[in-house]
Structure formats: C-alpha cells, structure tokens
Structure 1
Amino acid sequence: MSGDTITHVITPTAETAGAKRQTPFSQSRAARELGLKRSEFDLAVHLGHIRTLPDEGGGGRRVDRAEIERLRAQEGFPEALRRRVEAVGTRDGAALMEVTAARFTRLARLGLVTPVKFNLNRYRAVVWLYLADELLEFTADPKSATLLNQPLPEVLRSQLDTGLDLRARNWRGRHLGFLLRQAGDPWERAGAVASMLDQVQVSEIVRDPYERAYLNRFRPQPPAHCTPDSPAAHLTERITTAQDPDEIEWLRADLARAVEEARTHRPAPSPAPRCTDRHPAQHGHPAEHRRPERRHPAHHRCPPAPERSGRSRQPEQPQRSEPVRRRERSRRLLGRFFHRDT
C-alpha cells in the first residue's frame, strides 16, 4: 500500500518567505521587539521616534520591519530610546531641575514646561507627566537660571494670582500636533481638529448632519479610557476640550478650513433621494400625480338614477270617476264569464 501512495511534500517557496518578511508588525508585537513597555512605545510613536503605517485591513496602525531594524541599529539601543521617552511627574521633575515642587508647579502653570501626557489617579486627581529630556534641556539653558534660582518677576506672579494654568492648553496643542502628523487624509485632519471642540461648536461649523456624522467617524478617541458619563470621563473631556475663548476661535477657524479642504477631496456620503412614484407608467415615463377625487358632502349628493327595466314606460292614464271604474270592472267580469261558457 505504501508503495502505491503518492505523498506531496509542500515546501515554502521564496515568494512565501519574502511575503512573510514584508508583513509589518502590530503595535504590541513591535513594542516587544523593541523591548519597550506599551506606554513607552505609545509615547515614542506620539513623539515621532517610531514611524507607523496605516493598516490596509483597518486594524489600526502597524510598524514596518525595516523600521524595527533601523531602531535596533541605533547606538545605545534600547537604553537610548527609553531615555528619550522617559516621563516624570511633578516630584521627580522638580528633583531633576533641582527646584522645589511648588516652583516646578508654578513654572508648569505658566507654560514654561509642557506636559506630554496625563493620568488620573484613584482620587480622580490629574497627574501631569513631563519628558525628562525636556526638563534637563530647560535647566541647562542659561536663560532659565533666573526662573530657577531667583524670585519670579512681578508680571508672572500676577498671572499666577489670577488663576492662570496653561498645562491643559499646552497639552492640547501638543496632542493636536501628534494627531495631525498621523492623519493621512483630509477628513482625518478635520476629525483631529474637531476632537478638540465640543459637539455644539462642531455643529455650528458643520451644519449638514450627514457631513457631521461622517466627520465623527474620523474623530479620535480621548487618550484616557474611562467609563462613559463617569466623573473621570467628564474630567477627561474638560482637559481634552478647548476652554479659552481665543483657543476656541482659533480651532473653529481651523476646522472650517479643514472641512472645506475635505469636501474638495471627497464629499461626505449621503443617502440617495427617495423615489415618490411607486407605480411608474409604461414606456419608462413617470406617472402623473393625480389629485384625489373630491367627494361631495352628504347633503349635496345627487339622487340616485331610477332603475331601468326591459319594458317601455306606459304613458299615464287620465283620472276617471268612481262610477265609470265600477262599470268597466263589471264589463270585464261579464266578458270573462261568457267567454268561459263558450
């Protein structure tokens, strides 16, 4: 039996092996290949240290294998890449800059150092994180010596007294830049700008409901994942949505330009117009719209026509007196009697 059996051995071809080598990595796989935590990998993509590609199958962005090899070939890999994406909080940031935590917070509120991400702790307090490299660069700048070692100028102190806090606004500007760099389509760019505005502002700019629904498909999700309608979700929405009037006006103007460009590139899909004629006439001509027949009220109805019989209608006989009718009746009875006897 074994001598009569033909066994086909399938060996991988060069084309199959080459296609496998060309397949890009998912983001989770790419993070493992680079020896990074997922949060470190996401921040590296955010900062542009790792280039990603859109997935043709719609499964998110991917990382080309050539990009992995490029990063591995860099000097000091992977420690150098980890240092570039190291993010620290207020206490560690103050220690790097050799200042108190209170002074560090004042510098951050003034917008002199910009947060790169934020988290919410278990008490729903906002924890701002800053790039360690940027803090060290700020400290090494000779222009920053007076801000680090001397009392703040009167102008800056007055701004802090009025409640100035630019941390959320500076983060929004930084995050919008990241979204625009990742966008590869005019509608994606418009969706990135729309993500910084609330729905009321967007509906005033984009009045067409079909166009607005299409725009929402490209609206990125907030970076923090919270339960919908929870206090944490409302706090995250407040951070990720423009609050200052001048910021709102700038974003509204930018959204109007982005949507106009997206319309030129590709109009938003809308449903086809409905056909009101359900019984078209023959020969392909549309049926005419007929007005409904008007019915008369009951008291205006015409009387029904008299029924027709097969016999012709006899002319009316003149009226006769009672004695004459009696004589005619007696004559008819006598005529029938004599006719029967004969």
Structure 2
Amino acid sequence: MSRIGTTSDRLTCAPSRAARELGLKQGEFDLAVDLGLIRTVPDEGGGGPRVALAEIDHLRSGDGFPDALRGRVATVGTTAGAELMDVVPTRFTSLARYGLLIPVKFYLNRYRTVVWLYLAEELRQFAAERSHARLLAARRTPTEIQEGLKAGMDRRPRNWRGRHVGFLTRQAGDDPWARAGAVACLLDPADVADVVRDPHERTRLARCHPRLPAHGTPGSPTAELAETLMTASEPDEVAWFRADLAHTMEAARRHHPVTATLSPARPVDPLSLMPLPAPPTGQAPLAPPPAPAAERRPEHTDPTPPHGLLSWLRRRPRRPAG
C-alpha cells in the first residue's frame, strides 16, 4: 500500500523534520523521545515512528521554547559534570561508579575508552539535595563507597542498561512481543535461548528486537566492546532480565501465539528454568520483572531514595528474589 497521501503523512512528519522544527540535533531529538518528552506514533505505512504535527505545535508553544526543551536533553561528561556539581572529577567518577549518578548515554572515543554522558538537569538536582551535601563537600568519600570502589565496583554499565530497558519498553507500548524483544535485546543470546525454548518464538522475538545504539563498524573491536556494555552481565541482573523475559513472553503467547502446539504458558524460574506454579489472578509473578527506568528503584543502582542518600548508604542491601 502506498504511503503517499495517507492520513498519517498529512498529519505527521518524519523524525528528521521534527528535529529541525524543534531546533534539536538528531541525537538530542532521539534522547527526548527516549525520555518521553516527545511522543511518537506508528507509521501507517509500516515504516519507523513519526511525530504528529500537533505534538510539534504543542512543544513549540511551551514556555521557554526552544531553550527549555534543549536544557532537558542537555548531556555532559565527567569534567563538565564535575564542574556543574562543584566537585573534583575524581569525586564525580567515584559517585558514578558507585551507582549514584546514572548515565543516559555513552560512546567510545578513538582510543576505545568508554565516555559516559549524564543529564545535566539530573546532576543539578542531585547537587541541590541537602542530604547530598556531605557527599559533595566532605574531604573524604564515605567508607562504604571507598570499599566498593576498592573492590572494583563500577555500576555505570548496569545503570545504563536498567535505564535503557525502560526507554525501550516505553516505546514498545502495549505490544507484548515488542516489550519482550526490548528485554531480550539486552540479554546474551544463550540466556534468551534458555528462557525461550521454542525456535519459532525466538525467530519472532528476534524480529521484534529494537535497534540498539550503534558504535563502530559491525564486528570491529569497538562494536564488540559496546555490545559487551549493552549485555546484562552480573548474576542478579541477568536473573532479573530472564525473569522479565519469561514474564513478557507469557503475555506475548497469550496475545499472539507463534504455533498452536505450544504448551500452556507458566512462569519460569530465571535460574533453574523449572516451571513455577501460576500466581493467583491479579497477583504478580513470584519473580516480578524490573519496572521501566522511570519507575524502578533497585537497591543497587538508583540514586537518591526519598529519605536521603546517607541513610540509604547505611541500609544493608537486600538480596534480590531468586
């Protein structure tokens, strides 16, 4: 079916045009979509997402446009972030490695060094919290953080993955196969095969994988390093992603089963892969998947809890549900 003259074409535009209309660079526009600041709609012709002209008009009429919108998607690296928070770069890096500052993007420079980027708006909010004053101004980093860093802790990749899966599941909307694909794309293929045993389902799932950020030529050392960063690796993190995939696959099978011979869907234990009893109607599975980044508050990764960071540091971490 030709897309020329469709209602979608008359009332929407391509992302490239939307970015120009909103005064954003393409990377800024993509981040704004990830953050939910710009809503997209499916293309009736089967192409990529589009932006309604009414959405553009709404954003252009907002207070402080375009500077306010640009400010919400502004990102900074370690040096600029440290200046923004009035700390030395080493303190900034310590807070980020410990998981208190969550990166929103990353890239690999010419030396294949990972450069993490953070939302400037979030860093300002972090620095403005009175409960963070000691972290930022004290001469010595808190003991808990020092011990973690000495042990080699670096939660930046894990925090990026947790945030990015939230972006992907939000964009997947109500399509359960797309939501399952969003989770699967951040797992090692071997883990996906363990959880999704049917090869026809895996084929369908692969078609639903969203496109992850590209870094370098496919197959190059840079691309391989980026793929490693974008793949869940810590045991408890992998367990959560597997549980999330098992949960979303149950919904996908109910919505549109790939074959008529599939056995009745039952939750799967992410570690043992043994079927678990189905939960009562209306209750969550025994190992609920992590919520999208906007809603998730894991003990290991998110920054400030409602009662302040220092009390959070003193609280003993709970072991994730198996």
Return the offset for 1:152: 1.6
Q: 2:235 aligns with which of 240, 245, 252?
A: 245
> Does the alignment pair 1:213 with 2:203?
yes
Structure with more helix by fraction: 1
Instruction: Give matches, 1:18-97, under 5 Å.
Output: 22-97=10-85
Q: 2:219 aligns with which of 229, 240, 243?
A: 229
| Residues 265 and 214 of structure 1, relative CA distance in 2, 3 Å threshold | same
Return the offset for 1:270: 8.7
* 2: CA distance, partners of 1:270 / 1:128: 46
Instruction: Give matches, 1:84-233, under 5 Å.
Output: 84-150=72-138, 151-184=140-173, 185-233=175-223
* 2: CA distance, partners of 1:208 / 1:165: 35
Kept in 2: contact 1:34–1:78 (CA 8 A): yes
Return the offset for 1:169: 0.5
The structure that has the greater radius of gyration is 1
Question: What is the CA deviation profile of residues 187-228 of structure 1, one whole-angstrom value per residue up to 9, with x for unaligned ones?
Answer: 000000101101000001111111101100011222124322
* 2: CA distance, partners of 1:168 / 1:18: 42
- Partner secondary structure for residue 191 of structure 1: helix
Give the aligned residue type for 2:141: L
Q: 1:254 aligns with which of 244, 267, 272?
A: 244
Kept in 1: contact 2:8–2:44 (CA 8 A): no
Kept in 2: contact 1:194–1:219 (CA 8 A): yes
- RMSD, matched Cα: 1.9
- Partner secondary structure for residue 168 of structure 1: helix
* 1: CA distance, partners of 2:74 / 2:8: 33
- Partner secondary structure for residue 61 of structure 1: coil
Kept in 2: contact 1:119–1:224 (CA 8 A): no
* 1: CA distance, partners of 2:44 / 2:215: 25
Question: What is the CA deviation profile of residues 277-318 of structure 1, one whole-angstrom value per residue up to 9, with x for unaligned ones?
Answer: xxxxxxxxxxxxxxxxxxxxxxxxxxxxxxxxxxxxxxxxxx
Return the offset for 1:23: 2.5
Return the offset for 1:20: 8.3
| Residues 122 and 77 of structure 1, relative CA distance in 2, 3 Å threshold | same
Question: What is the CA deviation profile of residues 223-278 of structure 1, one whole-angstrom value per residue up to 9, with x for unaligned ones?
Answer: 1243222111111111110010000011111111111110000012699xxxxxxx
- Partner secondary structure for residue 119 of structure 1: strand
Kept in 2: contact 1:31–1:37 (CA 8 A): yes
What TM-score comes out, normalization by structure 2 length?
A: 0.77
Q: Could you list the runs of 5+ residues in structure 2 that have no partner in the other structure?
A: 262-322
* 2: CA distance, partners of 1:21 / 1:214: 29
Aligned length: 256
Question: What is the CA deviation profile of residues 95-125 of structure 1, one whole-angstrom value per residue up to 9, with x for unaligned ones?
Answer: 0011111110000001111001001111111
| Residues 162 and 35 of structure 1, relative CA distance in 2, 3 Å threshold | same
> Does the alignment pair 1:266 with 2:251?
no
Instruction: Give matches, 1:285-324, under 5 Å.
Output: none
Return the offset for 1:22: 4.0
* 2: CA distance, partners of 1:20 / 1:169: 38
Give the aligned residue type for 1:92: A
Return the offset for 1:58: 1.9
| Residues 168 and 21 of structure 1, relative CA distance in 2, 3 Å threshold | closer
Q: Could you list the runs of 5+ residues in structure 1 that have no partner in the other structure?
A: 1-15, 272-342
What TM-score comes out, normalization by structure 1 length?
A: 0.72
* 2: CA distance, partners of 1:190 / 1:19: 30
